[in-house]
Structure 1
Amino acid sequence: MAATECVRLTYAFDAYCPWCYGFGPTLRSFAQDNAHRIRLHIRSAGLSTGARARPVSAHPRMAEECERVTRLTGVGFGAGFSRALTDGTTVADSTAAAAGLALLYGQADEVGVEHLDAAEAVQQAWFVDGRSLADPEVYHDIAAGLGLDASSVTAAYASPEPWEQARADFRALRRLHVTTYPTLLLHTAHGAGRLGGAASTAASLTAALDQCLAGAFPRPSSTHPDPLPPQPPPPEGELS
C-alpha cells in the first residue's frame, strides 16, 4: 500500500460510554497527525438500546468507572454530569444520541464541518454539562455552535430518518463484530481489524498504522498489544 494512499478507518463509539469520552483526545490527536493519509468514518455503537436504555441510577458504579477513566486518560468530567448522576433520572438512550448525531453529520457534510467535532460536542453535552442526549435542544445548541442550521436539526429530530440511520449504524458495527467500545478499525485488503485500544496514545496508534502500511502486520487486529480496561458488555436491543 502506497504511503500517500488514504486508508479507511472506522471509529465505533457510544455517546454515553465514558471510555469513549476518555479516548476522545487521543483520537483527535491521532486524526490530526495523520489527516493526510486516513479517512475516518464515525459510527454510533448502540451500547444502551431497547431494554438496556435505563436511568443512570441503574448504573450505581458509573461514578467509580468515570474515576478510572480519569486516572487512565486524564479527561475530566463536569459538574453538570456529576449532578445528573446524583439525580439519577436521565435515561441513557444510545439510539436517541445516535439519531441526533446522524442529523449533525448530515448537515456537517454540507458545510465541511468534521464529524469528529460533532461527536465531541455531543460527548461534552453529557459528560461535562450533564444534559440528556434525548433532548432535541442539545442538538439545536450544538448545531448553532458548529455553524449549522440549528432550527432544521431540531425540526428533523422527530422524523424517522435519523433514527433509521442510527439503527443502520448499529447493524453495520454488528456485522463488523464490534462488541466493545471504543474500537478503531483499520480496513485493508485482509478485512477490518482493530487498531490499538482504549489505553493507546496517539503516538502508539500512529506507530501501529505505520506498521500496517509498511506491511509488517497484514492483519491490523494484531498490530498493537495495548492493555485494555474492562469494557462494557455488547450492545443488545434494537440491532437486527
Structure 2
Amino acid sequence: MKLVYVFDAYCGWSYGFAPTLAEVTRRHPGLPVEVVSGGLFTGARRVPIRQFGYVRGANAKISELTGVPFGKGYESLIADGSFVMDSEAAARGVAALRQLAPDRGVELTEALQVAFYVDGRSMSDPDTYRRLAAEHGLDGDALVAAFEGPAARTAAATDFRRSRELGVEGFPTLLAVDGDRATVLAVGHADAEAIDRRLR
C-alpha cells in the first residue's frame, strides 16, 4: 500500500493540509507517498489573482482551521492583484523536485508552498527553485535545469492526467492505494488522528 497525495501547489487548502501530511508521514515512516499535482489554475483559470475574490476569506478560514501562516510577501501579491497563479509551472517545479530528491516529496512540496504563501515567491520563477535548493541542500543549477527541461513538462501533464484518472474532484485529496483499489482518506481538511483512524 502507498499514499497518493493529489494537491495543487497554488491551492491554499493544500498549503493548509501540508502540516497534517507531514505528521502522517512521521507516524508512518515506512509508507511511501506519491505526490501528484492536480492542475487547479490552468487554461481559462490562469488569470490575475484579483479575479478570485474569495481568496482573502478562504485564507482566513484556512489559517483558523490549520494554523498555517500567510506572510507579508504573499499578502503583497494579493494586495497588488496582478499576479497570475500558473499551476502548470508549479507542477513542473514539483516534478523537478521529485526528480532531484524522490524520497523528499512531502517535505519539498511543503517548502515550495511556504515560498509562495509566506515569502510571495512565484513558482514560475527559476530563482524560487534556486533559493529552495540552497535552503534544502540541493544543487540549484540542476534543479533549475530540471524545472526548465522537457521532462518536467511531460511529468506535469502526466500528473494532471493521473489526477483525473483517480477521480479527484477537489484539492487536496489523500488516497490510500493498494493495487487497483483507492480509498479516500481526506479531502480538503483533516487532522492526522482522523487519517490514522481511516488507515486502520
Which range, TM-score by smaller chain? over 0.9
Q: Does 1:114 align with 2:108?
A: no
Distance in structure 2 (CA, Å) of the matches to 1:121 and 1:190: 31
Please report the TM-score for the alignment, with normalisation by the length of structure 1.
0.80
**Secondary structure class of the residue paired with 2:156:** helix
Q: Please say if 1:26 is aligned against 2:20.
A: yes
Q: C-alpha deviations, 1:122-157, integer Å up to 9, x for none? A: 100111011111111111111122211101222343
Higher relative contact order (CA 8 A, sep 6+): 2
Mapping for residues 10-159 of structure 1, pairs under 5 Å: 10-36=4-30, 38-109=31-102, 114-159=104-149
1:12–1:173 Cα contact (<8 Å) kept: yes
TM-superposed CA distance for 1:197, in Å, is: 3.1
How far has the Cα of 1:190 moved from its partner?
5.9
Q: Residues of 2 paired with 1:143 and 1:80: CA distance?
A: 19
Question: Tell me, which stretches of 5 or more residues in structure 2 are unaligned?
Answer: none
The reply on whether 1:196 has 2:186 as its aligned counterpart is yes
Residue in 2 aligned with 1:213?
Answer: none
Structure 1 window deviating more from structure 2 (150-159 vs 134-143): it is 150-159
For the Cα contact (< 8 Å) 1:104–1:143, is it kept in 2? no
How far does residue 189 in structure 1 lie from its aligned partner after superposition? Answer: 4.8
Is the contact made by 1:57 and 1:85 (CA closer than 8 Å) also made in structure 2? yes
Which amino acid in structure 1 is aligned with residue 20 of structure 2? Answer: T
Residue 170, structure 1, aligned to residue 164, structure 2 = no
Note the C-alpha offset of 1:31.
Answer: 1.0
TM-fit CA distance, 1:187: 1.1
Q: Percent identity?
A: 38
Structure showing greater radius of gyration is 1
Aligned residues: 200
Tell me the CA shift for residue 63 of structure 1: 0.8
How many Å apart are 1:199 and its aligned residue? 3.0
User: 1:209 matched to which residue of 2?
Assistant: 199
Question: Greater helix share, 1 or 2?
Answer: 2
The Cα offsets for residues 161-187 of structure 1, whole Å up to 9 and x where unpaired, read as 211111100001111111101100111
Residues 91-118 of structure 1: per-residue CA shift (max 9 Å, x gap): 1000000101111111113xxx511111
